[in-house]
Amino acid sequence: MSLDQFIANVKSSGLARTNRYSVFFNPPLQKRDAQQVLLYCDQVQLPSLNFSTIQNRTFGEFREVPYEKLFGDISMSFYVDTNMKVKLLFDKWMSYIQDPTTRTFNYYDDYICDMVINVQDLNDSTQYEVKLFECYPKTMGAVQLDYASKDVMKLSITMQYKYFETSAKAQLPTEEIVTTNDIQEFVDNFSGYDSSVYETGDPAYGLPFDDLNPKTF
């Protein structure tokens, strides 16, 4: 690719910015405050992915062969509001994982939730989505208090999760969203999307009409 082609591609499609994103999760406690807390999320990471490998040789040189997939934890940072709702949400979430009095741990399914990270363009349209499954806060960082500082208080959180899935997204003129998963579903079940479904909504023809609407988060 020549320099002119590179410049033309950048002008036509642009480059992704690190400050265009949104985060969604629904913790087991204080759900009504979660959306407000997420507005204070000033930093988040797209998750890392690694393979554990082992040396294998059938003939000639060794080859590194993967045998296990490893998902790295993600770090998040939050501005802390005057009412300390951000801090209180994670305090209570971590106390829900282990009771601070009895020291007993809660059931795993009771303190986890899924989390979605959307990467957006300059028009706030989602272009890429990461969904992390079975998330919970693993580490809550210390907050430094200092008479000599006038900085805004920030809270760092490390989130543990089981695995993640990614998908590209296409924005329609109606601002509805179609994911690559929707497209694959269309390919796998083409007969379910014929005109008879739109006319009758009969599951006998495939998916009901309501299931055909583009999925949004």
**Are residue 22 and residue 89 in the same domain, yes or no?**
yes
For the chain, how many structural domains are there in total? 2
Residues 48 and 99 in one domain: yes
Q: Which of 61-65, 72-76, 122-126, 196-200 has the highest mean pLDDT?
A: 72-76
9 HSE (CA, 13 A, CB side): 8
pLDDT-based confidence at residue 173 (cuts at 50, 70, 90)? low
Question: CATH code at 39?
Answer: 2.30.110
Burial class (CB in 10 A: 0-12, 13-18, 19+), 37: buried
What is the per-residue pLDDT for 214? 43
Residue at a domain's end among 170, 186, 207: 170
pLDDT for residue 3? 81
Q: Is residue 5 part of a domain?
A: no
Domain with 166, as residue range(s), is 16-170
Helix then strand count (H, E) for the chain reads: 6, 10
Express each pLDDT in 5-54 by its tens digit. Answer: 878 887 777 788 899 999 999 888 766 678 788 889 999 999 999 999 99
Q: What is the distance between the alpha carbons of residues 114 and 24, in angstroms, rounded to a whole number?
A: 9
Minimum mean pLDDT range among 3-7, 123-127, 164-168, 212-216: 212-216
Sort strands 163-171 and 177-179 into parallel, antiparallel or unpaired: antiparallel
pLDDT band for 187, please (50, 70, 90 cuts): low
Q: What is the pTM of this model?
A: 0.72
CB contact set of 132 (below 8 Å; sequence gap of 6+): 47, 74, 114, 115, 116, 117, 159, 161, 163, 164
Higher pLDDT, residue 62 or 215: 62
DSSP state string for 153-216: PEEEEEEE-SEEEEEEEEE-TTS-EEEHHHHHHHHHTGGGGSHHHHHH--GGGSS-GGGGSPP-
Which pLDDT score, from 0 to 100, does residue 169 have? 75
Calculate the dihedral angle through the C-alpha atoms of 148, 149, 150, 154, rounding to the nearest 10 degrees.
-150
67 lies in some domain: yes
The answer to whether residue 195 sits within a structural domain is yes
pLDDT in tens, 146-163: 999 999 999 999 999 999
User: Rounded to whole angstroms, how far apart are CA atoms 159 and 128?
Assistant: 20
Average pLDDT of the chain, as a whole number = 82
Residue 57: what pLDDT?
A: 85
Residue 132 and residue 145: Cα distance in Å, rounded? 32
